Chains A and B, each alone.
Chain A
Amino acid sequence: MESTGAKFDVTKLDLWYGQTQALNQVSMKIEANSITALIGPSGCGKSTFLRVLDRMNDLIDGVRVEGTVLYDGADIFGSADVIDLRKRIGMVFQKPNPFPMSVFDNVAYGPRVHGLHARTAAEKRHLSELVEKSLVNAALFDEVKDRLHKSALGLSGGQQQRLCIARVLAVEPDVLLMDEPTSALDPISTAKIEALLDELKVRYTIVIVTHNMQQAGRVSDSTGFFLHGELVEYAPTKEIFFNPRDKRTENYISGRFG
């Protein structure tokens, strides 16, 4: 992998929750406009790693981080503005978490907090176009176009998760981080989201944490295998699945543990 196109360049990352070390000397380069899957058993640190990338771990008391994470060549722990960072790096969570407001307001939330006030007619049109575009890109628009102003809580689980993706897209980010986005969904909703990922890859860099090995195999370009806080193996997905170099990777992928 050439280092010039790397979106993220993580070097020797250590992370502690209080006294417990959750990540140990993780180094990893994530390519732009690709899908990177992070796999591993529960508690291996893959979600923690994902949350480092947009500094969501800042919200948890007693977290200590060492090492460097470069995003487009700039250190995210340095002078970077965390608000701006999170605006450019969107995150989709394991459980759909729509806000208790209308579908429209959910999608418009991001633009609004970033200062898009629909005061004039032009601004209003711009906002509703943005919302529509985001919903279209999240493959949800056709299903919700008649109920944009009804509560988002009335949507199905799969629709809610695509709404959360649309909500992230509306902020026009650069990177999408997804923390097991389909683990709470049924197979049909999962298929829809996987198809969506393939389309989104063209415009965004996607990092996805998944428990589902088949999913990692289906959607990702490269895969990283985490175990006990360490990045055991990180390679193009085909290599990881068909020709793993590490014995532990092979054991995990062949289903001997995990």
Chain B
Amino acid sequence: MRRRGSVARERAAFGVIRGLSLLTIAILALIMGFILYKGFRFSNEVRGTVLPYAERSPDGLALVVGGGIDLDSLDFPVLYGMYTDEYINWAKISADDFDLLPIAIDPAKPDGSATAKLLFGESADPQWGGLVKTVPDAAAALALLRSTPGAAAILPVDALRASTDTKELRVVPIRRLMLAANEDVVALVDNRSIEDLDDAALARLMGGAVKNWKELGGPDLTVKILSPPAGSTLAAAVASGRPLSAAKASIAPPSMAAYETALSGTSGAVGYSLAADAQAAGLAPLTLKTVESGWNLTWKYLVEAPRLSGKVGGISTIILNTLLMLALTILIAAPIGVAAAVYLIEYAKQGPLIRVLRLGTETLAGIPSIIFGLFGFLFFVNILHFGFGLLSGCLTLTLMILPTIVRTSEEALKAVPRSLREGSLALGATKLQTVLRVTIPAAAPGILTGLILGVGRAVGETAALLFTMGSDYKLAKGLFSSARVLSSHVYLLFAEGISFDRAFSTATVLILVVLVFNFAARRLVGRMGGVK
């Protein structure tokens, strides 16, 4: 009976232990999986007002850019911003590093008035930006496009077709259809307002499945769908975007003017609109949300240099800076750390002084890195005048990881059997020969483990580096050149809200760097052990 009880206890204890270890593994897998997934794939909700349907030649016009601009399509609000001085370069539009030169044909000319209509609708007071360069005709615009890398022009499609040389140019389709609703629909009532519409909600709304705005979180109003007047630009645009034309209209105004009046005057009304017209008529756009996803960590991201604080470009220089930093840090820290450990174990008389030294080393190992950062900032950067740069950073890191290296090397040396040392000495080897040829090689796997731990700490260090190594994301030009490394890049991308996706893909690269280092070191240890 008693025996059976103890067996049951054993079994229960085993179950608990196994459960806990499985839980640990599960947590680890979750963390790694999450970071790696976010690193490789991005998936974001994007909110906007335009529908996901792009027109190559809205109103017979086309947006033409130079071939150097990396752009597949463009939302109308951005196009509007380009011609109203909201954007001055391509960085925020296509991540290209050119100044923006928006070109338009003189509005006084017939081709020009179409451009004005595309951008500003029927508005009486077009807000042309000061950057916009007006040209007399399409030929002049094309000539300017070819000579200026960051130029963009709105041209009649016919003029473009007539041109003989359009190889270097690219036509960018525009998304300008949106859903406009009556003001009552988007109003805040009882602290509630209509939710952002995703694809499913949009299909239900325009398919006629939604009878009351309440169903979408809006006010208690009946949904009234307007259909655009036949023959209008709007109707043509809606018709060409086939998936969107399934709208079941309940009201069909005869003209564009009546359509707009109906939209702004009928409570609960909703209908398609061209962004420019809606803006001119002061109609309220419904906010749409779509999920964008794709590859986050791409080859391009690894090999391109970062630009604009890392918002665009890649992280190649940052990876190189990280490797430089690691190489320099190991170069400084390894000889000092191993020499100190050898002295402490092999040569020093074990007395109170050594005990104090050892206690100091252990204490140093536990000090938060930010304190090393403060020290490095004051001592290396200011007092020694090294400035923000590789050298200051690496010296600070060296101080930080030395205790780890010394302690693990000490343990590794201690673990070398006395018999090996005696064997060497009995052969007539000197103490130094014994240390260099027998003791250190025998302790090499342990010493290397210490170095890996140190490297792991160094590569993950942010706080100590921001104050000593600086955060210039260009490739370090020398020992005194400020340099950003992967960990501080992750921190800055995150802290300055530059890009979470990029922070995650950089973090993934960081993890991969650590993995590669561990793997390489293990291989090295295996080879040093010499067995087989």
Contact = CB atoms under 8 A, between A and B. Distances in A.
Nearest to A58: B425
Contacts of B529: 100, 151
Contacts of B417: 97
A59 B425 contact: yes
A93 B425 contact: no
A164 B423 CA distance: 9
Nearest to A112: B437
Contacts of A109: 424, 427, 429, 437-438
B426 interface: yes
Query: Which of B420, B424, B428, B529 has the most C-beta atoms of chain A within 10 angstroms of its own C-beta?
Result: B428
B442 A90 contact: no
Interface in A159-173: 164, 167-168, 171
B442 A99 contact: yes
Contacts of B532: 150-151, 154
Contacts of A231: none
Nearest to B430: A83
Contacts of A100: 420, 441-442, 529-530
A87 interface: yes
A110 interface: yes
B425 A168 contact: no
Contacts of B429: 83, 109-110, 113
B422 A56 contact: yes
A54 B428 CA distance: 10
A102 B427 contact: no
Contact of A97 (B420, B437, B530): B420
Interface in B334-389: none
B164 interface: no
B123 interface: no
Interface in B400-454: 417, 419-430, 433, 437-438, 441-442
B346 to A, nearest CB: 11
A248 interface: no
Contact of B438 (A59, A85, A99, A151): A99
Contacts of A56: 422, 425-426
A100 B419 CA distance: 12
Contact of B437 (A59, A113, A171): A113
Instruction: Place the interface of chain A in its size category.
Output: 20 to 34
B108 interface: no
Query: Which of B419, B423, B532 has the most C-beta atoms of chain A within 10 angstroms of its own C-beta?
Result: B423
Contacts of A90: 426-427
B531 interface: yes
A171 B428 contact: yes
Contact of B423 (A83, A97, A151, A153): A97
A114 interface: yes
Interface in A79-98: 83-87, 90-91, 93, 95, 97
Nearest to B439: A99
Contacts of A97: 417, 419-420, 422-423
A101 interface: yes
B530 A151 contact: yes
B259 to A, nearest CB: 88
Contact of A93 (B419, B437, B531): B419
Contacts of B433: 113
Nearest to A154: B531
Query: Which of A54, A83, A100 has the most C-beta atoms of chain B within 10 angstroms of its own C-beta?
Result: A100
Interface string B139-166: 0000000000000000000000000000
A101 B425 contact: no
A14 B531 CA distance: 44
A59 B422 contact: yes
Interface in A102-118: 102, 109-110, 112-114
A151 B526 CA distance: 12
B476 to A, nearest CB: 39
Contact of A83 (B420, B421, B428): B428
Contacts of A84: 428
Contact of A86 (B428, B442, B531): B428
A91 B426 contact: yes
A97 B438 CA distance: 11
Contacts of A171: 427-428
B531 A153 contact: yes
A257 B452 CA distance: 55
A109 B529 CA distance: 17
Given A113-B437, A153-B531, A95 B427 contact: no
B514 to A, nearest CB: 28
A153 B441 CA distance: 14
Nearest to B423: A97
B423 A93 contact: yes
Contacts of B437: 109, 112-113
16 contacts: A87-B427, A91-B422, A93-B423, A93-B426, A99-B424, A100-B529, A101-B441, A102-B530, A109-B427, A109-B429, A112-B437, A113-B437, A114-B428, A150-B532, A153-B530, A167-B427
Given A83-B428, A99-B420, A154-B531, 17 more contacts: A56-B426, A85-B428, A86-B427, A86-B428, A87-B428, A91-B422, A93-B426, A100-B420, A100-B530, A101-B441, A109-B424, A110-B427, A110-B428, A113-B430, A113-B437, A114-B428, A167-B423
Going nearest first, the 6 A-B pairs with the smallest beta carbon separation are A87-B428, A97-B419, A91-B426, A86-B428, A113-B429, A110-B427
Interface of A: 54, 56, 59, 83-87, 90-91, 93, 95, 97, 99-102, 109-110, 112-114, 150-151, 153-154, 164, 167-168, 171
